Amino acid sequence: MVQISEVKESGSRESRTAAHTHINGLGLDEYGAAKKVDGGFVGQAEAREACGVIVDLIKYRKMSGKAILLAGGPGTGKTALALAVSQELGPKVPFCPIVGSELFSAEVKKTEALMENFRRAIGLRIKEIKEVYEGEVTELTPEESENPLGGYGKTISHVIVGLKSAKGTKQLRLDPSIYEAIQKERVSVGDVIYIEANTGGIKRVGRSDAYATEFDLEAEEYVPLPKGDVHKKKEIVQDVTLHDLDMANAKPQGGQDVLSMMGQLLKPRKTEITDKLRQEVNKVVSKYISQGIAELVPGVLFIDEVNMLDIECFTYLNRALESKIAPIVILASNRGKTTVRGTDDVKAPHGIPPDLVDRLLIVRTLPYNKEEIQTIIFKRAKIEGLNINEQALDRVATIGSEKSLRYGLQLLTPAGILATTSGRTEILPEDIDECLDLFLDGKRSTKILEQSESYL
């Protein structure tokens, strides 16, 4: 017997598979005021409202080439805020997150890696008019011929494809290379497909709804018979980034459309892309925009731990922000006044040179109070399926406010294991205290190290 189970509503279910998968927005009301607990956030009302204003500025195209700095202690939600900004902008806006130290471990030099990420965060929406053949497959016949190299085997010389639309039918004689694409897409008679005339690319849209039955249990998408003629001109919208175009033009291949250029992305690259090539790509992009063929979509480049960049990167970042085509840059730092990397004596706030700090809109994130920490811990325990009583919850909240929020959250799962080992389903204060003895926090660990050094 076939087992069929209903999928539960996903809208009401809370889930968390990684550090920030629970973030789904800034949690603001229609007036831009932060709700106390919403969008995966608890507290940080001022920072969320400030980010809400930034989202509006981005949507009204008033932020291009400018930068934002999220400044605050560890565990105050800086990365979550940057992610929430990208969520508010929508799925089509490019979001490129990197960590400052990534630039130093790349195969290419650090300024090149920084510019690559800049270009990844700038999208281009291209509208192309393509000649296509679209319809339901009525015939699919590969025609064989004798192998020109001799032997007993036969090769496919061409393939006959019959297509039917609402207005008529057509029979196409296609190249044998297209037959491989047909097999790859698993096309069969009764499927709705479209074939691009200039590239020969094939896309299977779905199964014709004429084949759908009331008792069909297959996980198949049924689509209606295409309207109009089999041979038609169709507008296709494609989203690419400037980095994709740089890569495609660095190693050009056959084909004039964007899809054929995109084929290069599968090949590994060891060389750098020159500034001259990027300028040429920018010229073509500007031409497309002025002709109305394409639309520029400035995305978000998020650089976490920006204090890890050195003076050379900061100088390059200044220059990149001033270019005609630039994304919105969000920086994050948890440092106070510290020496700028790459210099010996230049001390600056957040480890960023003063001339760049002047360009930034700075959003401050504050430490959570005990009530907010208690709410966060309660929600995390609920998501992880842990049952914690009120006294234990208060104990963890106190630890979180005295030590750090992250340390308090890390005690939850071990406490749950200890409670299960003791034959209980509920976490009690003694489980938290036992975890406190087993696992050190940063402050206690430092204190022990200082004591051990005094004995040596």
Tell me, what's the pLDDT at 10? Answer: 43
Tell me, what's the pLDDT at 69? Answer: 92
Q: State how far the Cα of 389 lies from the Cα of 397, in Å rounded to an integer.
A: 12
Rounded mean pLDDT of 128-136?
A: 83
Tell me, what's the pLDDT at 287? Answer: 87
Tell me, what's the pLDDT at 176? Answer: 79
For the stretch 376-423, pLDDT in tens is 888 888 888 888 889 999 999 998 888 888 888 888 889 999 999 989
Tell me, what's the pLDDT at 106? Answer: 67
Residue-range domain boundaries for the chain? 37-121+299-364, 123-294, 370-440
Q: Would the pLDDT of 266 be above 50?
A: no
CATH class of the domain comprising 370-440: mainly alpha
Q: Do the beta carbons of residue 303 and residue 118 sit within 8 Å?
A: no
Cα 390–Cα 396–Cα 399 angle in degrees, nearest 5 = 145
Q: State how far the Cα of 368 lies from the Cα of 391, in Å rounded to an integer.
A: 20
Rounded mean pLDDT of 181-196?
A: 84
Tell me, what's the pLDDT at 331? Answer: 92
Rounded mean pLDDT of 360-364?
A: 90
Tell me, what's the pLDDT at 9? Answer: 47
Work out the mean pLDDT of the chain and round it to a whole number.
81
Tell me, what's the pLDDT at 24? Answer: 77
Tell me, what's the pLDDT at 455? Answer: 58
Rounded mean pLDDT of 41-68?
A: 84
Q: State how far the Cα of 230 lies from the Cα of 123, in Å rounded to an integer.
A: 33
Q: Do the beta carbons of residue 329 and residue 356 sit within 8 Å?
A: no
For 123-294, CATH gives 2.40.50.360
Tell me, what's the pLDDT at 8? Answer: 47
Dihedral sign, Cα of residue 298, residue 302, residue 306, residue 308: negative
Assign domain 37-121+299-364 one CATH number from 3.90.1010.10, 3.40.50.300, 3.90.226.10, 3.30.70.1170: 3.40.50.300
Rounded mean pLDDT of 134-163?
A: 78
Tell me, what's the pLDDT at 261? Answer: 52
For the stretch 280-319, pLDDT in tens is 888 888 888 888 888 888 888 899 889 888 898 888 888 8
Output the CA–CA distances (angstroms, integers) from residue 420 to 386, 408, 433, in the order listed: 10, 19, 15
Tell me, what's the pLDDT at 453? Answer: 73
Tell me, what's the pLDDT at 332? Answer: 92
Q: What's the pLDDT band for 450 if we cut at 50, 70, 90? A: confident
Q: Which of 79-83, 92-96, 272-276, 367-371 has the lowest mean pLDDT?
A: 272-276
Question: Quick check: helix, strand or coil at residue 242?
Answer: helix
Considering the entire predicted model, what is its pTM? Answer: 0.68
Tell me, what's the pLDDT at 23? Answer: 76
